[in-house]
């Protein structure tokens, strides 16, 4: 009972941390998705110089830890004279990081489409643009949906790194309550909240996948 | 340049700790993950339920939170482990949960015909698993597993939060002490180097395992 | 040798086998023909327990090895003997189902070694014998992926033969093959026939069925609707459905 | 100022133009700054900063930051001042400017209640925990005993170090007295910790000041002016009474 | 209608077509036969620019649409006209290559709408006409995955026909089909023959080639080694390689 009272007393504060988590989450998705699509198309059919640049981009951003990237953007860029306030800085870093992963997913998807689909389109007289837009991209979306959704779920679980930058997300706040009250309830609560969010997302994305698989 | 030479020993020491954690985690994960996967595919109902719960919770929550939990909350239940042991425990439980799912999917992706052919030849379930299914599964899950292995290396950057002086922490301390970003850049280079090496290594491994394709 | 009596099989609500009975004698070659979905594969698979039957009796060499549903016979043999009896059947699948991670030799010695506990030297000897029979001694170290379809199917046959079966079941052994490769597999099966191997063959190859089998069984919608020697089957089938089918096929 | 060799210091004008200044702090550092049960940011430094802002005629914004990077935040311009039990040290003086001292604290040694560590000298061969980037870090390493320690473990904040002390992974925690006393008086921590007496030993006096960028001289002057005012008219003393039940403002 | 002169094609070092020439007249039906790997598909694909030729000339209705290597002819037509000319060719593949994310109707109206800019109502009208011709009007809203192989191939034919081609290229249109489903596809092709559609068919169906084609072309190792009317081809082939091939196939 006492425990319940305690939970009730800390919950509003914890949920205020969730707000930041949610902002970062949607901000990132909104930017990372277009980056992924465009960079993937560039990687598959862009000019060699663009391909090289995009290769470099995915190599660096996939090859180093997100945490280091965050520290770099938060503390390194200002030294070079580039100043961003915390929220945009976080969103930019997350977006570039996830954009790099999504690029590779989408590229894999594009390349997995059977050559026969291109040939059939060409034999019907369709141009490259028409083929991509009408035939290849729609099939790619279906194919990359599962890994994309799983990245989207991973993102939820990467947002707690904000806590290490002093941003008051759900984890930092539960950490604060924990260290203030010497009571692990806030951690348990955080576990449950994250579990609920990722389970809900898994469910949602599952429905999305189902919707897109009508033709199978 | 001189500055880089000056900070290099500190960063290298941090890298050493990162690598020590990494290797320990990697060595422990595979056996655990294979057992969990087999349990999930063909264990008794109750075991399946428990393993489902395990993978659900550990895949559904952030590694960082798990790390904090193991480090700060376990002592409340009377379990006090050294920082290194905490890190290993949190990482192994987390990554094994992911890896177990990969292996399970791998086992389930093997063509039904393989089971049937083995059965038609008179092989028992365990003979079939050991001789026919698992070897093919290993080949099939190799790419996803290598991917996981590379991600794991980058995740080691999180251990700085529980007092271990890994590469990430060394770099951070240097940056904050000297107000220069060079340590970050050197750390970037180290991580990039190691993950590129890992990519190469795993590509070789995949090639080796693909002789029969 | 084999007697299947009044076999019924359901997949969910789908009644796939509706009381099929068939007897095969030692040395006999029986071809099973019929339209797609008529239950030919299912029937064959019920014979060697790849599918559980829902009703009926399976007898092999006089021993009841499976009895289900409302029947008077019971399985009285020890499980060990039942298993040993099943081992007398070799099966060859449409899609070969070779073990892709093993070489040709590895495929053929696997079952003798793990199931019969034959030692490796002896197993290799058996394997070489069988591979010679199917004409693939030179491919002994190749992986299945490097073989043509016809070669794969011949390895699959050698693999089944290495267990010294007394009866071979073939489920459309040539229908996954390019037309040009069908011949080499049929050649091997003909050789087995010459050795008086008992065989049950589901096939779409009419000329093969006509030439080789002692008896042809025609299945339709889960029932055997015609069962007679090949000549009668092709020249004077009694059933309209069979006539229609033959017209389409030839 | 641009172009001129002797650029005029516009720091105070800028603050006035913005109508606010940004305080960087570790918002998990009671009683200087922390969140109370309702999530509200409170603390003695919070109160002091608010009062100072009122007197300066501008707003104050509190920006929680990662403590070990706080000096960088200041230099990078993310925040305008550090006001969070910030110890004045020679090393820090090279990097940033400080207001006049407003409080003097010291780094004390916290041990579990029945620890064998009775004096500072007993720390030899032990593991000591402290907050990364705090003044405790140089205070311990620069002390002769620092070389005799087994290990120094760095935590994100003193509370985590205290929790680890309770867990038994470390033997002692060095943190400033104000924070240490506040924490161990918490409901769940009472009777678990013990602070070594002044005679038993501590690590140096620690005068607190507000930290600013070296070049922000005009703002520094303004801040010093209102701080002195607050001390003079007793407002600072009132705030101190509220938090400590006594006036410890210098 | 089409004239291919001295076509050469390399894949890397592999010389796949070694100077192949062929002329097809309006309303003619030509079957291309030959062993696997002889270059039949490649030749067909060179015809409608799915593969670039390395040497030779492609003429369609008297217009040079492609000329490569050391030849005297040049492509003089405007690119627009060349494209329009290519559109007169419809192609049907062995693996159907239907668009899996579109319904049957979607597949058939796609090209008329995007390429010819036909409006949707008119495109649907054309589609219904063609689907009626291949007997699939009732499957108009099904997705390809829900169709049998024979039905898929018939949709593929309808899809090609919807572009109103003057010549149809078929690359082994029935070889991915179960034997029982071959008939329905050949039925549709026969209908096209009755309508005097010009057709080039790569096939393994000897009876079909014999019955329908005006001319049979036999390819081996990148060359045409026999080219004659079907009767002569099957009864008195002049080339030993052809005889061997026919023995194996029949
Ligand atoms: N595992 C299964 N689950 C559900 N239905 C099945 C299963 N296996 C077969 N069926 C159905 O049972 C029926 C008979 O199938 P079976 O494979 O025995 O036919 P078949 O005569 O061998 O056909 P084919 O010539 O195409 O191989 C079909 O309708 C099929 O869809
Ligand atoms: N894209 C390609 N790259 C490299 N080699 C190719 C390619 N396409 C075909 N080949 C090779 O060219 C040769 C001729 O192939 P092609 O597909 O034209 O033969 P085909 O007569 O159609 O055979 P099939 O009857 O098996 O379809 C073969 O040796 C084949 O391996
Ligand atoms: Mg079948
Ligand atoms: Mg071909």
Q: What is the CATH number of the domain that holds B187?
A: 1.10.3720.10
Give the closest residue (by CA) to ligand 2 atom 10: E11
User: Cα of C34 to ligand 1 centre, how many Å?
Assistant: 12
* B123–C90 C-beta distance less than 8 A: no
Determine the distance in angstroms separating the CA of D72 from the nearest CA of chain B, rounded to an integer.
7
Domain tally, chain B: 1
Q: Rounded to whole angstroms, how far apart are CA atoms E76 and E65?
A: 8
pLDDT of residue E8 exceeding 90, the answer is yes
Provide the pLDDT for residue C250.
64
Q: What distances in angstroms separate CA E67 from CA D213, E60, E62, E75, one per listed residue? A: 75, 12, 13, 6
Which of B39, B162, B166, B147 has its CA nearest to residue B100? Answer: B39
Q: Rounded to whole angstroms, how far apart are CA atoms E168 and E88?
A: 9
Kindly list the residues from chain A whose CB atom is less than 8 angstroms away from the CB atom of residue D30: 180
Beta strands, E only, chain D: 20-25, 28-29, 33-35, 41-42, 59-64, 81-82, 96-98, 103-112, 127-131, 151-155, 172-176, 193-195, 203-208, 211-213
Neighbouring chains of C at 3+ CB pairs within 8 Å?
Answer: B, E
Provide the pLDDT for residue D4.
40
Contacts of C245 (CB under 8 A, 6+ apart): C33, C34, C35, C218
Pair C55, C20: CB distance under 8 Å: no
Domain that holds residue B118: 2-210
Which structure tokens are listed for C98? 């070779």
Evaluate: CB of E151 within 6 angstroms of ligand 2: no
Q: What are residue C39's phi and psi, to 5 degrees?
A: 105, 15
Q: Where are the alpha helices (DSSP H) in chain C?
A: 40-47, 79-86, 104-114, 120-133, 149-161, 179-194, 206-212, 230-235, 240-249
**Complete DSSP assignment for B85-111:** HHHHHHHHHHHHHHHHHHHHHHHHHS-
Q: What are residue E200's phi and psi, to 5 degrees?
A: -125, 120
Pair D128, D153: CB distance under 8 Å: yes
Kindly list the residues from chain E whose CB atom is less than 8 angstroms away from the CB atom of residue C179: 175, 204, 249
> Which residue in A119, A130, A142 is closest to E101 by CB distance?
A142
User: Cα of C191 to ligand 2 centre, how many Å?
Assistant: 33
Neighbouring chains of D at 3+ CB pairs within 8 Å?
Answer: A, B
Q: Which residue has the higher pLDDT, A80 or E228?
A: E228
Determine the distance in angstroms separating the CA of B9 from the nearest CA of chain D, rounded to an integer.
19
pLDDT of residue A54 exceeding 60, the answer is yes
Q: Where are the alpha helices (DSSP H) in D19-106?
A: 44-56, 70-76, 90-95
* B122–C163 C-beta distance less than 8 A: yes
Determine the distance in angstroms separating the CA of E101 from the nearest CA of chain C, rounded to an integer.
27
Which structure tokens are listed for E163? 């572009």
Q: Chain B contact for C100, CB < 8 A? A: yes
Provide the pLDDT for residue C158.
96
**How sure is the predictor about A215, in pLDDT bands with cuts at 50, 70 and 90?**
confident
Regions of chain D with pLDDT less than 50: 1-6
Residue D174 CB-density burial (10 A; 0-12 exposed, 13-18 middle, 19+ buried): buried
Q: Rounded to whole angstroms, how far apart are CA atoms B178 and C15?
A: 79
CA angle C144, C147, C149 (to 5 degrees): 100
Q: Chain B contact for D168, CB < 8 A? A: yes
Contacts of A92 (CB under 8 A, 6+ apart): A31, A73, A84
**Complete DSSP assignment for E96-127:** ----TTS-HHHHHHHHHHHTS---HHHHHHHH
Reported ipTM: the value is 0.77
In order along its 213 residues, chain B shows pLDDT tens digits of 788 888 888 899 999 999 999 999 999 998 899 889 989 998 899 999 999 999 999 999 999 999 988 998 888 888 888 999 999 999 999 999 999 999 999 999 899 999 999 999 989 988 998 899 988 998 888 888 888 888 899 889 888 888 888 888 888 888 888 888 888 889 999 999 999 999 899 888 888 887 777
Give the closest residue (by CA) to ligand 1 atom 3: C11
3-state secondary structure of D131: strand
The answer to whether the predicted template modeling score (pTM) of the entire model surpasses 0.95 is: no
Provide the pLDDT for residue C223.
94
Q: Rounded to whole angstroms, how far apart are CA atoms B100 and B119?
A: 26
The strand pair at D41-42 and D33-35 is best described as antiparallel
* B75–D167 C-beta distance less than 8 A: yes
- For D249, which DSSP code? B
Contacts of A191 (CB under 8 A, 6+ apart): B57, B61, B65, B69
Provide the pLDDT for residue D1.
36
Quick one: what percent of chain E has pLDDT higher than 90? 70
Residue of A nearest to E108 (CA): A124
**How sure is the predictor about E244, in pLDDT bands with cuts at 50, 70 and 90?**
confident
Provide the pLDDT for residue D10.
87
User: Cα of E145 to ligand 1 centre, how many Å?
Assistant: 18
- For D197, which DSSP code? P
What element of type H or E holds E218? strand E215-220
- For D70, which DSSP code? H
Provide the pLDDT for residue E250.
64
Evaluate: CB of C222 within 6 angstroms of ligand 1: no
pLDDT of residue A94 exceeding 70, the answer is yes
CA angle C52, C57, C59 (to 5 degrees): 105
Which of E162, E163, E167, E159 has its CA nearest to residue E22? Answer: E167
Q: Tell me how far the alpha carbon of residue C195 is from its chain's centroid.
A: 16
Other beta carbons less than 10 A from residue B204's beta carbon = 10
Provide the pLDDT for residue A141.
86
**Complete DSSP assignment for C127-192:** HHHHHHHTT-GGGTT--GGGS-HHHHHHHHHHHHHTT--SEEEEESTTTTS-HHHHHHHHHHHHHH
Cis peptide before C187 (omega within 30 of 0): no
Which of D43, C249, A182 has its CA nearest to residue E179? Answer: C249
Q: Between chain C and chain D, are at least 3 CB pairs below 8 A?
A: no
In order along its 250 residues, chain C shows pLDDT tens digits of 899 999 999 999 999 999 999 999 999 999 999 988 899 999 999 998 899 999 999 999 888 989 998 888 888 888 888 888 888 899 999 999 999 999 999 999 999 999 999 999 999 999 999 999 999 999 999 999 989 889 999 999 999 999 999 999 999 999 888 777 888 899 999 999 999 999 999 998 888 899 889 999 999 999 999 999 999 998 888 888 898 888 877 6
Q: Chain A contact for D186, CB < 8 A? A: yes
Residue D152, beta-bridge partner list: D128
* Selected residue of C95, C99, C172 to mutate for chain B interface (largest B Cβ count, 10 A): C99
Q: Rounded to whole angstroms, how far apart are CA atoms A216 and E119?
A: 28
Q: Rounded to 10 degrees, what is the CA torsion of C99, C101, C106, C112?
A: -50
């Amino acid at each position: 009972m006492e425990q319940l009272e305690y939970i009730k007393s800390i919950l509003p504060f914890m949920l205020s941390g969730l707000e930041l988590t949610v902002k970062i989450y949607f901000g990132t998705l909104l930017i990372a998705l277009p980056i992924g699509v465009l960079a993937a198309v560039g990687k598959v059919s862009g000019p060699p110089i663009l391909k090289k640049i995009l290769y470099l981009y995915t190599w660096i951003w996939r090859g180093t830890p997100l945490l280091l990237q965050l520290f770099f953007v938060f503390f390194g860029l200002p030294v070079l004279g580039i100043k961003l306030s915390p929220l945009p800085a976080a969103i930019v870093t997350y977006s570039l990081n996830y954009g790099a992963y999504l690029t590779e997913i989408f590229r894999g998807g594009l390349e997995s489409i059977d050559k026969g689909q291109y040939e059939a389109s060409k034999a019907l007289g369709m141009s490259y643009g028409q083929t991509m837009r009408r035939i290849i991209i729609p099939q790619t979306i279906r194919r990359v949906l599962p890994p994309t959704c799983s990245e989207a779920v991973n993102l939820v679980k990467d947002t707690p790194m904000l806590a290490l930058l002093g941003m008051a997300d759900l984890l930092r706040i539960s950490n604060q309550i924990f260290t203030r009250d010497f009571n692990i309830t806030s951690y348990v609560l955080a576990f449950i909240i994250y579990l609920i969010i990722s389970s809900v997302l898994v469910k949602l994305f599952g429905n999305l996948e189902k919707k897109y698989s009508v033709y199978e | 340049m001189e500055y880089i030479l000056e900070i290099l020993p500190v960063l290298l020491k941090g890298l050493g700790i990162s690598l020590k954690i990494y290797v320990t985690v990697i060595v422990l994960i595979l056996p655990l993950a294979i057992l969990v996967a087999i349990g999930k595919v063909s264990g008794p109902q109750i075991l399946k339920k428990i393993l489902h719960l395990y993978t659900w919770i550990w895949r559904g929550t952030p590694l960082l939170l798990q790390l904090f939990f193991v480090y700060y909350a376990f002592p409340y239940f009377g379990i006090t482990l050294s920082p290194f042991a905490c890190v290993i425990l949190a990482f192994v439980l987390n990554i094994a949960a992911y890896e177990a799912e990969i292996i399970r999917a791998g086992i389930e992706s093997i063509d039904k015909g393989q089971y049937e052919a083995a059965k038609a030849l008179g092989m028992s379930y365990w003979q079939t698993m050991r001789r026919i299914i698992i070897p093919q599964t290993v080949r099939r899950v190799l790419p996803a597993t290598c991917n996981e292995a590379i991600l794991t290396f980058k995740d080691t950057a999180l251990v700085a939060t529980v007092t271990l002086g890994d590469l990430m922490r060394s770099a951070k301390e240097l940056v904050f002490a000297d107000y220069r970003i060079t340590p970050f850049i050197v750390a970037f280079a180290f991580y990039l180097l190691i993950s590129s090496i890992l990519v190469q290594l795993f590509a070789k491994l995949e090639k080796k395992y693909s002789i029969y394709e | 040798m084999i007697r299947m009596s009044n076999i019924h099989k359901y997949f969910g609500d789908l009644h796939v086998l509706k009381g099929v009975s068939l007897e095969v004698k030692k040395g006999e070659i029986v071809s099973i023909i019929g339209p797609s979905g008529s239950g030919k594969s299912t029937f064959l698979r019920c014979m060697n327990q790849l599918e559980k039957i829902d009703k009926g009796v399976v007898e092999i060499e006089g021993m009841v090895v499976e009895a289900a549903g409302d029947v008077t016979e019971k399985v009285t043999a020890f499980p060990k003997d039942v298993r040993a009896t099943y081992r007398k059947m070799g099966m060859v699948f449409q899609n070969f189902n070779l073990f892709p991670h093993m070489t040709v030799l590895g495929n053929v010695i696997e079952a003798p070694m793990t199931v019969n506990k034959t030692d490796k030297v002896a197993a290799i000897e058996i394997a070489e014998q069988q591979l010679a029979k199917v004409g693939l001694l030179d491919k002994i170290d190749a992986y299945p992926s490097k073989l043509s379809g016809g070669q794969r199917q011949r390895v699959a046959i050698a693999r089944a033969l290495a267990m010294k079966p007394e009866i071979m079941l073939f489920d459309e052994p040539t229908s996954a093959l390019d037309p040009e490769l069908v011949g080499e597999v049929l050649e091997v099966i003909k050789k087995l026939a010459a050795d008086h191997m008992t065989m049950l063959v589901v096939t779409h190859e009419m000329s093969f069925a006509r030439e080789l089998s002692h008896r042809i069984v025609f299945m339709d919608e889960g029932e055997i609707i015609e069962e007679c020697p090949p000549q009668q089957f092709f020249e004077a089938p009694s059933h309209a459905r069979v006539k229609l089918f033959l017209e389409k096929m030839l | 100022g641009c172009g001129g060799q002797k650029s005029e210091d516009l720091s105070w004008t800028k603050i006035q133009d913005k109508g606010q200044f940004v305080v960087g702090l570790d918002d998990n550092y009671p009683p200087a700054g922390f969140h109370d049960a309702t999530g509200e940011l409170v603390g003695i430094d919070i109160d002091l900063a608010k009062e100072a802002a009122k007197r300066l005629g501008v707003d104050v914004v509190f920006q929680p930051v990662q403590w070990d990077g706080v000096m960088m935040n200041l230099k990078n311009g993310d925040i305008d001042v550090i006001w969070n039990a910030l110890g004045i040290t020679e090393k820090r003086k090279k990097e940033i400017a400080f207001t006049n001292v407003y409080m003097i604290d010291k780094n004390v040694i916290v041990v579990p209640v029945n620890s064998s560590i009775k004096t500072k000298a007993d720390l030899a061969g032990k593991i000591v925990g402290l907050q990364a980037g705090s003044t405790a870090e140089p205070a311990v390493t620069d002390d002769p005993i620092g070389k005799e320690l087994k290990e120094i473990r760095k935590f994100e904040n003193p509370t985590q170090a205290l929790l680890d002390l309770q867990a038994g992974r470390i033997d002692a925690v060095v943190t400033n007295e104000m924070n240490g006393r506040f924490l161990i008086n918490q409901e769940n921590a009472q009777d678990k910790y013990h602070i070594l007496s002044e005679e038993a030993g501590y690590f140096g006096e620690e005068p607190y000041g507000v930290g600013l960028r070296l070049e922000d001289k005009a703002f520094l002057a303004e801040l010093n002016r209102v701080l002195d005012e607050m001390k003079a008219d007793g407002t600072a003393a009132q705030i101190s009474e509220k938090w400590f039940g006594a006036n410890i403002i210098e």
